[in-house]
Amino acid sequence: MKSILGQIQRLFQTALVQLLGQQGRSVDPLIRPAADDRFGDYQSNVAMSLAKQLKQKPRDVAQRLVDLITPLAAALCEPFEIAGPGFINIRLRNEWLAINLNAVPPAEACDRLGIEPADPQTVVVDYSSPNVAKQMHVGHLRSTIIGDTFARMLEFEGHQVIRQNHVGDWGKQFGMLIAYLKEKMPAALDGSSTVHLADLEQFYREANAKASEDPAFQDKARAEVVALHGGHPATLRAWQYFVDESRNHYMPVYGRLGVKLTTADERGESFYNDRLPGVVADLNREFGAPDTSPQPRPGVHEPHITVIESDGALCIFHWLPSGEPMFKSPEGKPFPFIIRKSDGAYLYATTDLAAVRFRIRDLGADRIIYVTDARQAQHFEMLFSTVRAAGWTRRSGKPEVQLEHASFGSILGEDRKPLKTRSGENIRLSDLLDEAVNRAANLIRANEADPNKKRGFTEAEINDIAQAVGIGAVKYADLSQNRQSDYVFIWDKMLALEGNTAPYLMYAYARIRSIYRKGAESSGDLTGGRITLTEPAERVLARAILRFAETIESAAAGLRINLLTEYLYEVAGLFMKFYESCPVLGAPTPEQRASRLRLCDLTARTLAVGLDLLGIRTVERM
């Protein structure tokens, strides 16, 4: 199965080349799904954008395009219609829709619904990034599930995806933690498997409190930092203890969320530590000897960089072609990208520079996506500007490496403030998931207590469905938002069986599978049934199923997961309309029954694959 939109675009592109010559290759045919079925399935308004260039009326340009495209599109489209000032209305042939649905192969373990893979790229996705010695809290939810969905969509498209979990496992705070561990839990240094930190957050708070109050302890902490950087065996064992204990806390959270991150995907800050001096040396060579004051280069009329050394600190300044600073402080002064402090220590910026270089040179990335909150927007603008100026993204004979910051907003409570506990603390992510599962289980048990809603679930089934529904509801409520916006976390809304929610889509899937099973029980093997489209509701549902490929393309290209959630909600709604107006099990003929049951099967498969791309597990009964 190929994207319908892509096929139509290629037809128009061919006609545009015939009309404009090679210049036509760069013209966007401006094809969009029609907002109203009365105007067809798709529309193009490219004729209006070309009218001035060709010095012709838009309708005349549209007619010339239609004359060129019609012979090419005879099997795909009904005769084109020119409407209004020059819109070209495109209506797909019912026979073509049916042929493409019938060509979808039977489901396999990794169901692709017959969608052809894209030209593969190597894509690095940086997401989640928990801190060692701290619990994952609700603030980690968005990066973790948004990044995981990006990775799933890109893999589905056929790209080689390399997940990178940039774990915060290095820095001065480890001196404090190691010193406190040696005081409170010396047995941990012996590698005993019986010594565990039940509460990482509490341990961190206690260590921090002692460091604030005890000067002697501060000296110990500083000495441990020196020992850690020097590779002292006992200090390294203590550091490794924190890394391992932290994994014991966050890896089960990933498992519950269905997130595809393993320990092999971790590239902690410690991984880049010995690369930092080389990165700084390379930047110095690239940009020349450091200056002493932040000034643009004289006579340079393009974006550029200068490196400033001040009291031992090394700073990068970015300049616009006008000579104005690209980044400014609140006071309007040039704002630096600091890559080395005056005491010789390196910063997050230096580590991120080393990470970019590793991902391009060692991992062979064509595209790198960073999934962090919007507060880091300026950091990534400065990082990307530095990397491009250094020439690291340029490759001989290949397109420039894409660098993208996929930022997201905050999760708010119903008071429109950042979601916290009543005491004002961050909510642990594991506690949030427990609450979601418990609420889902309570709803199921309430239904089981109602004779009119009882489904006869066993306790094991209730627990399994509650896990899928509760966690799926939390994830879907987040992923269905415009990721750049804040959203309000409302339990009742996300667990509702109505509206654009995970429970609604999961219920739609389970219901369709139930209809199909009943049909298969009485009709046997239905995979050989041929789909025919005779009713409007059949046709609209068929078209929606075939739009899955273009939906994934758009969602992955623009990193807009909500395009996928909106699509799945639309498909579920169209199925309900189809089922109401087109009898399935009671179809007039065996051929129609088989056709409609195959439509049921393809709809269910589309919902299942779409929900899986969101990391949401379906259940067969709800």
Coil, strand or helix at 313: strand
Answer yes or no: are the C-beta atoms of 177 and 207 closer than 8 Å: yes
Between 478 and 301, residue with greater pLDDT: 478
- 128-147 residue pLDDT tens: 999 888 889 998 999 999 99
- Residues 316 and 284: their CA atoms lie apart, in Å, by 10
**Alpha carbon of 204 to those of 132, 134, 174, 196, 197: distances in Å?**
10, 7, 10, 14, 10
pLDDT of residue 527: 63
Is the distance from CB of 515 to CB of 600 less than 8 angstroms? Answer: yes
Measured CA to CA, the distance from residue 344 to residue 449 in angstroms comes to: 67
Integer Cα distance of 172 and 253 in angstroms: 27
Q: With pLDDT > 70 as the criterion, what percentage of the chain qualifies?
A: 98
Torsion angle, alpha carbons of 276, 282, 286, 291, to 10: 60
Helical residues (DSSP H) of 161-232, grouped into ranges: 173-184, 200-213, 215-230
Model confidence band, residue 110 (pLDDT cutoffs 50, 70, 90): confident
Helix axes 200-213, 233-257, angle to 10 degrees: 140
Q: Indicate the helix (H) or strand (E) that contains 123.
A: strand 122-126
- Residue range 325-380, pLDDT digits in tens: 999 999 989 999 999 988 888 999 999 999 999 999 999 999 999 999 999 999 99
Mean pLDDT of the chain: 92
Question: What does pTM read for this prediction?
Answer: 0.94
pLDDT at 191: 63
For residue 186, what pLDDT is reported?
85
Using CB atoms within 10 Å of the CB of residue 236, give its burial: 0 to 12 exposed, 13 to 18 middle, 19+ buried: middle
Over residues 207-260, the pLDDT tens digits come to 999 999 999 999 999 999 999 988 999 999 999 999 998 998 999 999 999 999
The pLDDT value recorded for residue 189 is 79
Q: What are 608's two structure tokens?
A: 């299942």
Residue listed under structure tokens 């209004």 = 84
Question: How wide is the angle at C-alpha 291 spanned by C-alphas 289 and 295, nearest 5°?
Answer: 130
Dihedral sign of CA atoms 436, 442, 448, 450 in order: negative
Query: pLDDT at residue 192 above 70?
Result: no
- Per-residue model confidence as pLDDT tens digits over 10-58: 999 999 999 999 999 999 999 999 999 999 999 999 999 999 899 999 9
* CA trace torsion 430, 432, 437, 439 (10° rounding): 150
Name the burial class of residue 218, with classes exposed (0-12), middle (13-18) and buried (19+) by CB atoms within 10 angstroms of its CB.
middle
- What digits encode the pLDDT tens for the residues 380-402? 999 999 999 999 999 999 999 99
Query: How far apart are the C-alpha atoms of 58 and 47, rounded to whole Å?
Result: 5
Question: What is residue 394's predicted lDDT score, i.e. its pLDDT?
Answer: 94
Q: What is the pLDDT of residues 509-566, one digit of tens each?
A: 999 999 999 998 877 666 667 999 999 999 999 999 999 999 999 999 999 999 999 9
**Average pLDDT over every residue of 475-487:** 96
Give helix 590-613 / helix 548-558 axis angle, nearest 10°: 10
Tell me the domains of the chain and their CATH numbers.
4-92 (3.30.1360.70), 173-257 (no CATH), 465-613 (1.10.730.10)
Tell me the pairing of strands 402-408 and 42-44. Answer: unpaired
Cα distances from 572 to residues 107, 363, 420, 507, in angstroms, run 19, 40, 34, 10
- β-bridge mates for residue 43, sequence order: 32, 89
On the question of pLDDT at 490 being above 90, the answer is yes
Q: What is the mean pLDDT of residues 146-163?
A: 98
Cβ-based burial of 514 (10 A; exposed 0-12, middle 13-18, buried ≥19): middle
- Of 98-102, 343-347, 582-586, 612-616, the one with minimum mean pLDDT is 343-347
CA distance 199 to 515: 48
What average pLDDT does this structure show over 151-177?
95
Residue 506 is predicted with a pLDDT of 98
Least confident of 174-188, 358-372, 404-418, 554-568: 174-188
Q: What is the pLDDT of residue 424?
A: 74
Q: How far apart are CA 469 and CA 461, in angstroms?
A: 12
